[in-house]
Amino acid sequence: MAFSPEKDLILSPKLLTLLRASKRFPHDAAFNVQAAKDALADLYHANMPLKSVVRLMVSALEELSLESRFESLQSPDWRTDLLMSPLEKDWFYSRPGALRSYEQFYETIVSEAWAILQLSRVDWCLHILWPDEHK
Residue ranges covered by each domain of the chain: 24-129
**pLDDT tens digits, one per residue of 90-117:** 655 555 555 568 888 899 899 999 999 9
What kind and span of H or E run contains 113? helix 102-119
Q: Does 89 score more than 90 pLDDT?
A: no
What kind and span of H or E run contains 18? helix 13-24
The whole-angstrom separation of Cα 126 and Cα 103 is 34
| pTM of the model as a whole | 0.84
**pLDDT tens digits, one per residue of 38-74:** 999 999 988 999 999 999 999 999 999 999 999 988 8
DSSP 46-103: TT--HHHHHHHHHHHHHHHHT-GGG----STTHHHHHHHGGGGSHHHHHSTT----HH
The whole-angstrom separation of Cα 19 and Cα 117 is 6
pLDDT at 26: 72
